[in-house]
Structure formats: C-alpha cells, structure tokens
Structure 1
Amino acid sequence: MKKLTLSALFAASLFLSAGTIATAQTKSATAVNNARANKAASYQVDAAKSQLTWNGKKVTGEHTGTINVANGQLLVNGNKVTGGTVDIDMTSIKNTDLTDLEYNGKLIGHLKSDDFFSVEKNPKATFKITGLTPIKGAKAGQANYTVKGNLTIKGITNAISFPATVAVNNGTATAKGVATLDRTKWDIRYGSKSFFANIGDKAINDDFTLDFNIVAKQNDLARL
C-alpha cells in the first residue's frame, strides 16, 4: 500500500512538474514573440534608387539640381515606418538647368563655398526622423503622414516638418514628398533680403525646396 501511495505521489509530482515546465515554455515563447512584434525592423536605404532634387529661386530666375543620398535606414514596425535616419552627400550637389558648362561649374562652386553650404568643412547633411503623424482623410496618392525630424546642415540642427507619402510593401519602404526649408536657419545668408535689405534684383529667396523619394529595403536576414 505504501509503495502504491509513493508511486502515485511520484507520478503526480512528475505530472505537475511537466505542466509547470510547459506553462513556463509557453510564456517564454509568447514573450519572445511579443518582443519581436514590438521591435522595429531596420530597412537599409537604397542610395542608388533614392533621389533628392533641389530648387532655389531668385528675383531673376531659379535653379534646379540634384544631391545624392549617401546612406541611411528606415525603422519599420509591422507595415508602418516609425523612424529612421538619412545621410546626404553634399559633395555630390549638381545643377541640371544650366547647359553652359562654365556657368554650371561656377554655380556649383559657389553653392559648395562658405557663402552657402561650406561643403569642404561639412560634406554630409543628416535628417533624423523624430515622429510620423497620420494625416486623417488622406486619399490614395496623396500625402498620408506629417513627418517631423531634425535636419543638420553645416553642423547646425533645426527641427522641420513636412507632408509625405509613406508606404511599406513587400519588404520595401518608401517616402515621397517635398520639404520647404528656410536656408537662413542654417546660417546661409548670402543674397538674403532678410539680412541685406538693399540688394535689389540680386536677392535670392530664403526658402528652397527638396523634392525627395527615399527607397529602403528590408535586410534579407531580417526576413528569416
């Protein structure tokens, strides 16, 4: 009788232990899955497919050109972009409207000088996303987020915001839009009526625009 009782107690303890272990394993697996779900995946910016186009206006006309994206990443949680950083190669700035090579070269040289972007001292600009707010009622093809972030040019950082069309599909994240920037906030004062009132038709608008199309792809390892 004692042997039967001891055997029964032993069997019961094994059963309870197995149940406890199984419960612990289930909780552990759930915790891991939740952690994975809450962790944003890093999508690498595809510099070759990403584009930046700038436009600056003055009293007597305007100029347009491009700047290369150097690198960066977008943080994605589920099907939403939640953050990220984009580095811009300021040494790559080009003009696309002047066909005369001499004038084109002079303009680019001036833009790279200390009158404007001080490229030799500051070869990189950086934009860091600090928040994305959905735009209510946005229709297909329209900007669906207000993007906020910090833009560093010439070592000077300012907070900016702009509307953008942001999407995540099949391992690719994209962000498209136009940001309007006041260059004087980054100490680019050349030709600004805000600082030089009597320059007449030599004035250059304080605001310039950056038309951007950022493409980022999920790391293959992150899909496993």
Structure 2
Amino acid sequence: MPQLIQTPAELDALRETHPELALVDVRLAEDYQEGHLPGAINQCVFEVVFLHDLAGKALRRDQPVCVYGVAPESRESSTAAAKLERAGYGQVYDFRGGLEAWRAEGRPVEAPSVSPGGQAVRDGRFPLDLAESKVVWVGRNLINHHWGHVAISEGYVNFLEGAPDSGAVTVDLREITCADLAGGPLHDVLIHHLESDDFFDVENHPEAVFAFDRAEVCSESPGCQNLKLHGTLTLRGETRALTISAAAGFTPEGKAALQASLALDRTEWGVLYGSGRYFRRLAGHLVNDVIELQLRILTASAVLK
C-alpha cells in the first residue's frame, strides 16, 4: 500500500534518498496556480483522465511518486495514491500533511508572478438567467408518476455584505409541460387537468411566487445543502411559510448558483384533488399529497468580482 509521510522534514528526507522522485500536486489547477510546493507538477485527481494525463507527463511506473493535497483531513492525496498503486506504480508515497503542513512551517511556495487573488462577492440585486434557471415537478399516485417542467418568468437574488440576503422566484403556471407524455394524446389532457380548478386554477392564479427574506448558511462544505432560504410560497392565492434547503455556490464564471429538491404538500395551499385526506373511496383517482420539486437557479451575470 502507499507509504504515508506526514511532515515536510519527512518529504525532505524522501527527496534526498530518491533524487528521481516525482512530486505531484493533485489539487485543482487553479489552486496549484495560486501556490504549490517547489518542483511539483500538477494533475488534478478529480479529473476522469487523471491517470491518462499523468502518464503523458513522462512518469514511469518504476519511478518513485509522491502526491499531496491541501491538508490531512482532505482526501485527495490518499485517493490519488490509491489510484496510482492500482495502476501499477511501484513506489507511491502520500504526503498527507499537504500544503497546509508545508506552509505551517513557513516554507516557501512557488506561484506564477501574477497570481489570481481571492474573489469577493459584489453586493446588489442580480436578476436570474431565465434560460438556465428551471423547475422540474414530479407528481405521483400509488404506482405511477408524471414529471415535467414549469417556466420561471422572473426572479432575482439580492446580496448584502457578501452573502445572499433576499430574493424571489416567480413561476408561470401557464407554461407547464409533462415530459413523460410529450407528443402523446394524453399530454394536453393532463395539462388542462393541472391548469383547471382541480389543481392550480391557472385562470385565476397564473403565477406562484417563492420569496425569501433570510438566508442561513448552515455549512461551509460545497456540494452539500449548505444554505437555508426562509420565506413564503404563494400558490393558488394561499401564502404559507416555506424553508428551502439548498446546495449553493458559484460557477467558474462567477455566477451565483443554487440547486434544491423539496417535497411540497400541495393540500396546504388548497390543492385537494385526489387527496386521501379529503375524499373517501378515490380508487384510481388517488393522487399523492406530496409534489416533488427540483429547483435550479443561476444569476444572469457574475456575482464575484
């Protein structure tokens, strides 16, 4: 198995005893550019072509290789070391202390002469990209389901002091589709059913609006549900409190992005058709009370500066 080293002194000793040692920074390319251990090359372990591209950098399988990441608790170096060993590299070392341990001792790092600085969040109101922002709905009964899209007609996120402060998303219920019935004779039948007063009463209530006035950061880890949006949902003329847990962050272009999946009890907003709580003996007309919604929103312009 890969040999573990913890400290910069151990890495120094390894380089002395193995002059051919290849030192590989397996972090993101942009992190490598901001600062890396002297003499290290970069190959990001998150890339699916990690092994292929590393082989293209003239590393031999009989050559000693030492990989490192950002810090002991981040697993990129151990992941890379395991991949290399499985690929047949005979002398693999994992500098688990990583860049954090190196810098803790005040050791120098290499970086380009012009290094990208940290990006700050601009305050202000940022409209949504309506082409890229979407809502997917899923409705079910006991053994079947339908799913489709509903259009976002407008929306914005307001940032204050570097964090989301408030915002709103307006959904146009006149622009609802059913993907699994697309092109079939039952598509329009279902859509008319959803638009009628059985469900959303679109003639009288053509829009639904989620507006939030408080955003709670609940984790610093990207990729998890790190944000809670506290607000209200107005649907079919009824306004109820709603909190959405979401995964939020920034795209490589600096746009703010958010993804969320939530289960919505439609009966709380007066959508009662087919509900077993309100009707007896529905037979095949039973419809689950819960509608599943998948939300993706993206700002039209960059939030980072």
| Counterpart in the other structure of 1:85 | 168
TM-score (norm. length: structure 2):
0.56
Alpha-carbon displacement from aligned partner over 1:32-87 (angstroms, at most 9, x marks no partner): xxxxxxx9400011111101100011023011000010011100124421110111
The root-mean-square deviation of aligned C-alpha atoms, in Å, is 2.3
| Counterpart in the other structure of 2:154 | 71
Contact 2:146 2:180 in 1 (8 A): yes
Contact 2:223 2:248 in 1 (8 A): no
Contact 1:142 1:165 in 2 (8 A): yes
| Residues 190/223 of structure 1: CA separation in 2 closer, same or farther (3 Å cut) | closer
| Residues 92/99 of structure 1: CA separation in 2 closer, same or farther (3 Å cut) | closer
1:148 aligns with 2:230: yes
Deviation at 1:98, TM superposition (A): 1.4
**1:184 aligned to 244, 267, 273, which one?**
267
- Structure 1 unaligned runs (5+)? 1-38
Q: Distance in 2 between matches of 1:204 and 1:105?
A: 18
How many residues are matched? 184
1:94 aligns with 2:169: no
- SS of 1:185 mapped into structure 2: helix
1:49 aligns with 2:125: no
| Counterpart in the other structure of 1:4 | none
Structure number with the bigger relative contact order (C-alpha 8 A, sep ≥ 6) is: 1
Contact 1:56 1:209 in 2 (8 A): yes
Deviation at 1:200, TM superposition (A): 2.9
Q: Distance in 2 between matches of 1:104 and 1:180?
A: 24
Deviation at 1:149, TM superposition (A): 1.2
| Counterpart in the other structure of 1:107 | 190
Q: Distance in 2 between matches of 1:217 and 1:99?
A: 29
Q: What code does the residue aligned with 1:89 have?
A: D
- Of Structure 1 and Structure 2, the greater strand share is in 1
Deviation at 1:99, TM superposition (A): 4.3
TM-score (norm. length: structure 1):
0.75
| Counterpart in the other structure of 2:212 | 129
1:162 aligns with 2:244: yes
Identity of aligned residues (%): 28
Residues 187-202 of structure 1 mapped to structure 2, 5 A cutoff: 187-202=270-285
Contact 1:167 1:173 in 2 (8 A): yes
Contact 2:222 2:248 in 1 (8 A): no
1:212 aligns with 2:290: no
- Structure 2 unaligned runs (5+)? 1-121
Q: What code does the residue aligned with 1:48 have?
A: A
- SS of 1:117 mapped into structure 2: coil
- Of Structure 1 and Structure 2, the greater helix share is in 1
Alpha-carbon displacement from aligned partner over 1:86-141 (angstroms, at most 9, x marks no partner): 111110000001145221110001000000001111111111012221224x6331
Q: Distance in 1 between matches of 2:166 and 2:188?
A: 37
| Residues 90/125 of structure 1: CA separation in 2 closer, same or farther (3 Å cut) | same
